[in-house]
A and B are shown apart, each in its own frame.
Chain A
Amino acid sequence: MPKVKIPRKSTTIDMTAMTDVSFLLLTFFMLTTQFKADNSIIVDTPSSISEIKLPDTDIMNITVTKDGKVFFGIDNKNNTREKLLDKISAKYPNLKFTPEEERAFVLTGSIGVPLNQLKGFLDLDENERKMYQQPGIPTDSTDNQLGDWIMQGRLSNPGVRITLQGDQGSPWPVIKRVMNTLQDKNVNKFNLITDLEVDPNKLKGM
């Protein structure tokens, strides 16, 4: 049998092309990314055929979880959150916040503690704060703190758009209370956050 000579080839590959692609992707993702909000609240939104997209900024979000807890969140464009906290402590004179607590408030996502617990909540360590089971903001008619948050939030950022994010299983009475609170504060136009669902009318057309 004749010996077959296998020519030895170099095992090094030209990586240039691959590097090009990978860095292209990297740049793309770096520029388009927005980090997921660090939220411990889990909400499974219902779906609708509405296709309106939500802007990233100027959003005040009221979240209602499955067990009916209410959370309040607002984005920090133009230091809205700092202003909001100042306004809250101006309204409640016995609530004074240290600069550390203010920073903690800016960094925290949604707030779901009654005002009297807010200071203690903000004093917690960052990780402890994540683990902390927030009891939700009171919305009863006797002590409607959600109304205060909404009011002060709108004063801090007059151009804010209000969204309501409910879980599929959120009980209607809680949602109704939130909607009534919004109406009380003269917010008659707001957005419900939903997932996308196919419009059956469009399906027919296909």
Chain B
Amino acid sequence: MAEIEQKQVGKKGKKKGPKKMSTRIDLTPMVDLGFLLVTFFMLTTTFSKPQTMEINLPVKPKGEVTQDQENALKASKALTILIGKDNKLYWYLGLATAPIEGLSETNFSADGIRKVLLEKNGTIKNMVVLIKPTNDAIYRNIVDILDEMNISNIKRYALVDITPEELDLIKKYKG
């Protein structure tokens, strides 16, 4: 297509005039340059936009929240998940002081916390999950556990600070 061949219309006798030059152009350097630029743009481009997970935190209450207010939540409906060191997970049902189901250890796998969540979510109506990371927890644990909430379709959950009693529970559990 780039090559246009001009056919000479036969005319009598030799025609004087400029020499007929070939209209073919060597495209190689152009292609070289083209591909160089393609490669450059391919390597510098960021294709996938990052995924995000939306999180809504409650409005910070004015003044101190008393322990009683926190306990106002029905103990029978509260499942507490503690996130410990080295991706360890602990959970219990009810209050820390008087648990309905005591502390047990689990992990982030599909057979671990997800099973517990699905099971409890099926039996307990309006279950509320309290997520309490210890200071040894890492960010991935938090995202993973929030993700588990989405997977298990649990609508009510909260990120709460851990209490000293619960830290003691973990310590005792280990010991």
Contact = CB atoms under 8 A, between A and B. Distances in A.
Q: Do A and B come from one complex?
A: yes
A172 B54 contact: no
Given A22-B35, A179-B57, A53 B51 contact: yes
A162 to B, nearest CB: 10
A169 B53 contact: no
Interface in B109-146: 110, 114, 133-144, 146
Given A182-B57, A191-B53, A194-B51, A201 B151 contact: yes
B49 interface: yes
Contacts of B53: 48, 50, 52, 191-194
Contacts of A182: 57
B52 A163 contact: yes
> Which label, helix, strand, loop or mixed, suits the secondary structure of the A interface?
mixed
Interface in B5-39: 27-28, 30-31, 34-35, 37-38
Contacts of A35: 44-46
A54 B51 contact: yes
B147 A22 contact: no
Max chain B C-beta neighbours (<10 A), residue from A166, A192, A199, A200: A192
Contact of A50 (B44, B54, B137): B54
A169 B142 CA distance: 11
A25 interface: yes
Nearest to B110: A200
B51 A29 contact: no
A182 B161 CA distance: 16
Interface in A147-197: 163, 165-173, 175-176, 179, 182-184, 186, 188-197
Contact of B52 (A30, A179, A192): A192
Given A48-B146, A188-B59, A192-B53, A19 B30 contact: yes
Chain B, interface size category, equals 35 or more
A33 B34 CA distance: 16
Chain A, interface size category, equals 35 or more
A125 interface: no
A2 B63 CA distance: 106
A25 B161 CA distance: 53
A172 B57 contact: no
Contacts of B48: 196
A64 interface: yes
Contacts of B35: 22
A122 to B, nearest CB: 25
A190 B48 CA distance: 20
Nearest to B162: A172
Contacts of B34: 19, 22-23, 26
Given A25-B38, A36-B45, 6 more contacts: A26-B38, A33-B45, A48-B146, A172-B141, A188-B59, A191-B55
Which of B52, B53, B56 has the most C-beta atoms of chain A within 10 angstroms of its own C-beta?
B52
The 10 closest A-B pairs by CB, nearest first: A29-B41, A15-B27, A191-B52, A170-B139, A168-B140, A50-B53, A166-B139, A22-B34, A172-B137, A46-B140
